[in-house]
A and B are shown apart, each in its own frame.
Chain A
Amino acid sequence: MPAEAFITGVADTPVGKLPEHNCLSMQALAARDAIANAGLAPSDIDGVLAGFSFTQPHLMLASVFCEYMGLTPAFTTAVQSGGATACTAVMLAAALVESGQCRHVLVVTGDNRLTGLPPGGAVAMLAQVGHAEFEQPYGISVPAAYALVAQRYMRDYKVSPEDLAAIAVNQRRFAAQHPHAHMRKPITVDDVMRSRPICEPLKLLDCCLVSDGAAAVVVSAREAADPSRHRIAILGTGQGHTHEHISAAPSLTHFGCEMSAQQAFARAGTIPSEIDVAEIYDSFTITLAVELESMGFFKKGEAGPAAAAGELSLTGSLPCNTHGGLLSYGHSGAAGGMFHVVEAVHQLRGQAGPRQVEGAELAFVHGDGGILSTHCSLVLGQA
């Protein structure tokens, strides 16, 4: 089935410390640039999907954003799926243009959670994803919840901390080649192993960053997308949901990313081995290992050793998180997952510079919200 929804524009702001910005100013910057990148004017946008914000939270963030930017779309709403927000909003945007409800949907995400919150503020706010009665009284945090997954995974599949560290090393190598990346200084497995313990077995360099930043994309209908521009087809989408709280997860080793990826691959009519480049949610090293294996890219327990062997590098079998991911490029709330989408489009357009995967035809993008709780997968390709 030919694709009916296309990513026609992408943009991201710098990431890191942006004290001169606030949540909405960054989002508007990314939105303006994404619209221009699509060759459109703001008045062409008839759908707007926004994410969520920690620094300027609002019951109606999409309406607030539209007002701030001066947009009066025919359809708008906010999407809140944690780290799966960006992919979920792109999936929803595709549905809006496929169904004929909209012609051009702007999806905008961004937050200044590094400079817009007191020190440690993002970690404290994120801990609220824990159950108020049955998890938070025990001092649970997002890193602690992922550490529970990591401990069980390492035991069941005989994976070492060094194997997981190799994932962080691979991504830092990519980030060093991205002029916008938050962390660009190369690291070694020893650096990861010697970084301070956060929640055993996870150490500081197993954990994602806290960054300011924003990103936006424009999703257009087939008849509305200018065929003379390099539009990227949304070939397949999928979701998977098993739980929200880690104490209620049916398993610590099998998650909704299996279903999510299978659905996206099936709808796109492709399989993991056909994917040229993958941009997959990597809130922690364990996150990426579990996802890569659940999705069929590697066998159980083999993602870390594969990273150590260079399989996730530019010359490996699956170049992965070529911008550096949440671990090294940056993590700005809902925009964290959108950076993966933007990088996939850069790769498919051949615009990734020194990080370019030669001849990239098919990209896989994945977002994970909560504690491997809610998943959304996208298969993107040439139109």
Chain B
Amino acid sequence: MSKPVPVPTTDTAHYWQACDGEELLYQRCGDCGHVQFYPRRSCVSCHGANMTWLPSARRGVIHSFTIVHRPPTPSFDDDAPYVVALIDLDEGYRMMMNVVGDDRASSAIGRRVRVVFEERAPGRKVPQAMLEAAP
């Protein structure tokens, strides 16, 4: 059993395609300016259907995190204990990612991270977070 591989929908195909080129995209509403993640057809704030794609600078901060000792499925057993975190990107949206890297156990609320890409399957890269050097 292997780890889940994201299957793009018609809303997210463009996003995942960009990930494969190691670019992180997010959406901004062309009508009201609202920034949102995950990608959707319409704006959750003004409900308009004029979403535009922007590239992220791929920097953010840990809003919260947990160290998972008991994975939900055996496909994550080899990773445990692993870190699941909610990352607030500098552009004003939030994503779930793993904090990866040898120093992941140093994860803490407020720590800055940068986004890297993990090749989950051929042609399918998923964004992950790595801790920036401690201040």
Contacts and interface: CB of A to CB of B under 8 A. Distances in A.
Interface of A: 123-124, 126-127, 131-141, 143-144, 147-152, 155, 196-202, 246-248, 252
A246 B8 CA distance: 20
B14 interface: no
Given A132-B6, A133-B38, A152-B109, A139 B98 contact: yes
A133 B6 contact: yes
Given A148-B65, A148-B86, A151-B109, A140 B96 contact: yes
Given A133-B12, A200-B69, A152 B63 contact: yes
Contact of B63 (A138, A248, A252): A252
A199 B82 CA distance: 9
A88 B95 CA distance: 30
Contacts of B50: none
The interface centre, meaning the residue of A132, A138, A152 with most chain B CB atoms within 10 A of its CB, is: A138
Contact of B64 (A134, A136, A149, A248): A149
B9 A147 contact: no
A138 B96 contact: yes
B48 interface: no
A371 to B, nearest CB: 11
23 contacts: A127-B72, A131-B38, A132-B7, A133-B6, A133-B8, A133-B9, A134-B37, A137-B3, A137-B120, A138-B98, A139-B82, A141-B71, A141-B72, A148-B65, A151-B109, A155-B109, A198-B70, A199-B66, A199-B68, A199-B84, A200-B69, A201-B66, A247-B86
A148 to B, nearest CB: 5
Contacts of B64: 148-149, 151-152, 252
A148 B97 CA distance: 12
Given A132-B4, A151-B109, A137 B126 contact: yes
Contacts of B7: 132-133
A227 B9 CA distance: 56
Contacts of A151: 64-66, 109
A123 B71 CA distance: 9
Contact of B70 (A134, A150, A199, A247): A199
Contact of A140 (B6, B12, B72, B109): B72
Interface in B56-100: 63-73, 76, 79, 81-82, 84-86, 94-98
Tell me what chain A mostly uses at the interface: helix, strand, loop, or mixed.
helix
Contact of B68 (A141, A152, A248, A252): A141
Tell me what chain B mostly uses at the interface: helix, strand, loop, or mixed.
mixed
Given A144-B66, A152-B64, A199-B68, A127 B73 contact: yes
A141 B6 contact: no
B5 interface: yes
Contacts of B4: 132, 136-137
Contacts of A152: 63-64, 109
Given A131-B38, A137-B120, A247 B65 contact: no
Contacts of A139: 3, 68, 71-73, 76, 79, 82, 84, 98
A247 B69 contact: no
A31 to B, nearest CB: 32
Nearest to A153: B64
Given A134-B95, A247-B96, A141 B3 contact: no
Contact of A148 (B16, B38, B66, B73): B66
A195 to B, nearest CB: 11
A137 B5 contact: yes
A196 B84 CA distance: 18
B109 A124 contact: no
A199 B85 CA distance: 12
B95 A124 contact: no
Contacts of B120: 137
> What 5 A-B pairs have minimum CB-CB distances, sorted nearest first?
A127-B72, A147-B66, A141-B72, A152-B64, A139-B76
A130 to B, nearest CB: 8
Contacts of A198: 68-70
A194 to B, nearest CB: 14
The interface centre, meaning the residue of B16, B66, B97, B126 with most chain A CB atoms within 10 A of its CB, is: B66
B86 A123 contact: no
B84 A140 contact: yes
Given A139-B73, A148-B66, A246-B96, 16 more contacts: A124-B72, A132-B4, A135-B96, A137-B4, A138-B97, A139-B98, A141-B71, A144-B66, A148-B65, A150-B66, A151-B109, A155-B109, A197-B67, A199-B66, A246-B86, A248-B94
Interface in B13-65: 16, 37-38, 63-65
Contacts of B68: 139, 141, 144, 147, 198-199
